[in-house]
Amino acid sequence: MSNSFEDTDLAAKALELERFLPEGRQVEFRALVAAMADQAARNSRQADEAAQYRDHARRLGGQLKRLQEIFKANDHAFATFRSALTLSRRLRTMAELPGMLTDLTRAMHVHTLTCLLSRELFAGFLSPGFPCPSHKSLTTALNALLRPDASRRVYVGRISALPRPDFFFDPAVLAQCPELLAGSCFIAPLADKYQPKRRIGALAMADTDPDRYNMQKGTDFLEHFCEVLAGDLLHVKIHEELTRQRESDELTGIPNRAYLRRHGPALLALAERQGSPVSLLFCDLDRFKAVNDTYGHETGDAVLRDVARAMAGRVRAYDLLARLGGDEFVVLLPNAGTEQASVMAERIRHCVAEVARDRELSGTPGLSVSIGMALHTPGQSIDALVREADAAMYVDKRTDDQKCPL
């Protein structure tokens, strides 16, 4: 015991009773009282310790609850991040981008989401109306964003603090939902991973909750997603660029044989499913070699470009015009039978006649076109259809005197 028997309150009270004990029992009584006082002291200490343990347990419970909330938030953030990555990785063509952004808006659980892409890099691969600011205006707008933390390359904060909210978000959306201006947003530049200092666009997300995006919250997942998205956008754009180069005729700019072989079968299969007719015209310029020999290959190339441009202006938007090589062209005509194909053939004859007249080739050696027509039969391949129209073209070439005069 830390205190002597005489020092305790219990001892003082016990001493008052001690005089009533029989002689010789005082020592035993004092030992009993001392043991009781020692036990009381231990009980008091245990009660204090128990209170401390209960208080510590309450604190641990609070910490556990906070950790569970943090884990739940991180788990939700990671699930959102994973969903966003899946959407980005599934992107195969730039034409799919608007639909992917709609799905991404839902996956991110935000009111509105905008992807801005550099006009110089992407305008030729996106449909009209997609937000494509110039590289200069994009850079200016991103540099104008106020960042309290200079170490962060993204902007997180109130939408009302943006110098130009209507640059990053559709003015129509802001007008339809005025409470957005009191909300918060996340804006990150999209960088070229091959040239990190070059910005190819920006991703902006806005929410009506003013605390959704703030400087106290981490944005690691979002920033990493923007890096992945930028890389995916570049890969898709480069792939489409290479595909265009591979499937476009270098001289005339219209589709080439590879394009016809890639996309023609799909058009034929669609026609078979719908039970609609498909025709193909095989066009071969007459006396083009004489034009080349007389005026030179530079003029010959110019004539081919003019003919391709004129034919492209005559065919329907859903027809497939392609240059097979040399002075041979084909036109695949979905939903067109013999009568419609004949009308298109006459249009092409007249457009070649116009080129010949404009190029002063109506005399000698002269320029015209022979056209063969073939109607697709179920199960026929695109190559077989081309061969059939090619054979018909040679019949037309042998009856040159029956073609429209130039």
27 with 169, same domain? no
- Is the predicted pLDDT of residue 101 greater than 60, yes or no? yes
Token pair, residue 286, equals 């007459």
Q: Which domain holds residue 51?
A: 5-61
Number of domains the chain is built from = 3
- Do 137 and 284 belong together in one domain? no
For the chain, the maximum distance between any two Cα atoms, rounded to a whole number of angstroms, is 156
State whether 237 and 94 are in the same domain: yes
CB-CB neighbours of 88 under 10 Å: 19
Residues 406 and 362 sit within 8 Å (Cβ to Cβ): yes
Residue 179 lies in a domain: yes
Residues 6+ apart with CB under 8 A from 278: 267, 268, 271, 332, 333, 334, 335, 336, 375, 376
- 292 and 327 part of one domain: yes
Judge whether 76 lies within some domain.
no
Of residues 399 and 352, more confidently modeled: 352
CA distances from 353 to 298, 303, 372, 392 (A): 20, 12, 17, 21
Residues 279 and 396 in one domain: yes
| pLDDT tens-digit series, residues 145-192 | 987 666 778 999 999 999 999 999 999 999 999 999 999 999 999 999
Cβ atoms 93, 240 nearer than 8 A? yes
The string of pLDDT tens digits covering residues 288-306 is: 999 988 889 999 999 999 9
- Mean pLDDT to the nearest integer, 213-224: 85
CATH code at 389? Answer: 3.30.70.270
Q: Which two tokens mark 271? A: 């026609």
83's tokens: 């969903």
